[in-house]
Amino acid sequence: MGLAVNLDLTVVWAFLIAFAVFAYVVLDGFDLGLGMLFAIAPEERDRDVMMNSVAPVWDGNETWLVLGGGGLFAAFPLAYALVMPALYAPIIAMLLALIFRGVAFEFRWRTVRWRGVWDLAFIAGSSMASFAQGVALGALLQGIEVDMATRSYAGGWFDWLTPFSVVTGVAVMAGYCLLGATWLVMKTEGDLQDRMRRIAWLAGLATLAFIGLVSAWTPFLQDGYYNRWFTGWGIGLAVLVAGAVLLVAWRMFHSLNVHRHEYRPFLQAIALFALCFVGLGICMWPYVVPVEVTIWDAAAPEKSQMFMLVGALVLVPLILAYTAYAYWTFRGKIDPEAGYH
């Protein structure tokens, strides 16, 4: 009975951490994408409007990163001990970039002489954080060398840097630009909105191309991935997920250029990310360190998981409620004459 409870809690924690990671990717993703789009919006007025569109919510979006990372450490300590040494470089680069862009976000409003410098810092921090997240994803997918006798990382310092991880890094950057552009379509008006519609179209095409490339590449990284997608029921599942991705992408492009909707493209871009996340989950399950360590191998003791779950059942609804309230309070279009700062 105890084993059954432990297995159930392990699955619950796996889905809870997956939800936190997905929430972070979507919520901070459009924020990072907006930062990268600063590079192609040189007008000071447009940059102010873009930044004001996320000013009330950008820092709260990163709460989910803390929850995902902390949850992994607490619920799956072995996975944390294996993944961190393998991905130290991209994770540290991501954290430094997030800190740098956070400083740039605030400092650009307090200076005129150095505002251009802080704008460049905001662009660079957003780009580096996005690229580092994609590299970390690619490095995790391609596999981490583990010495199961000592339950420790057995790879080298630069195992994370491969052609595949570089491609996934650029793919995440393209996807975040899509989220950022569709967010700005929803939040802005006039010339800036029209420009973001065009950028969203291009970013959508790039994102779709990268989804196809990464999806075609991934099954050949590990035998387990290939067997999951191209044998038995996996073939039908692959066709179903691919069809859903194409359908959502077609509706998104239609909403952008034909119907010229304002809210739907952003929601459809989120749906596109959700489908990719589902595909990633199918590919990795039940491994937390592909294809060496399962979620049950890496799980913390049952009593620890239960203790933490009580806290999560209180904190997660509070975070969701606060996040929903913040987005509801600051809904609608941004007034260029009345910014947040």
pLDDT 10s digits, 202-255 = 999 999 999 999 999 988 888 778 888 888 787 888 889 889 999 999 999 999
Report the predicted TM-score, pTM, of the whole model to 2 decimal places: 0.91
Q: Using CA atoms, how far apart are residues 164 and 143, in angstroms rounded to an integer?
A: 11
Beta strands 152-153; 146-147: pairing state: antiparallel
What pLDDT sits at residue 337? 66
Whether pLDDT at 1 is above 80: no
Q: How many residues does the chain have?
A: 341
What confidence tens digit (pLDDT) does each residue in 74-110 have? 889 988 888 889 899 999 999 999 988 888 888 887 7
Burial level of 111, CB count in 10 A (0-12/13-18/19+)?
exposed
Residue 5 banded pLDDT, cuts 50, 70, 90: very low
Q: Nearest-5° angle of CA 203, CA 208, CA 211?
A: 125
- Which residues, 6 or more positions from 34, have their beta carbon under 8 angstroms from its beta carbon? 50, 51, 53, 54, 126, 180, 183, 184
Residue 4 banded pLDDT, cuts 50, 70, 90: very low
Judge whether 2 lies within some domain: no
What pLDDT sits at residue 336? 67
Judge whether 107 lies within some domain: yes
Judge whether 159 lies within some domain: yes
Judge whether 56 lies within some domain: yes
Q: Using CA atoms, how far apart are residues 315 and 320, in angstroms rounded to an integer?
A: 9
What confidence tens digit (pLDDT) does each residue in 280-332 have? 988 888 888 887 888 998 888 888 889 889 988 998 999 899 889 988 988 88
Judge whether 15 lies within some domain: no
Q: Which residue range(s) make up the domain with 316?
A: 28-328
Judge whether 60 lies within some domain: yes
260 — alpha (psi -120 to 50), left (phi > 0) or beta?
A: left
Q: 101: closest CA among 127, 130, 121, 77?
A: 121
Judge whether 211 lies within some domain: yes
Q: Using CA atoms, how far apart are residues 164 and 222, in angstroms rounded to an integer?
A: 13
Judge whether 340 lies within some domain: no
Number of domains making up the chain: 1
What pLDDT sits at residue 339? 53
CA-based max dimension of the chain: 67
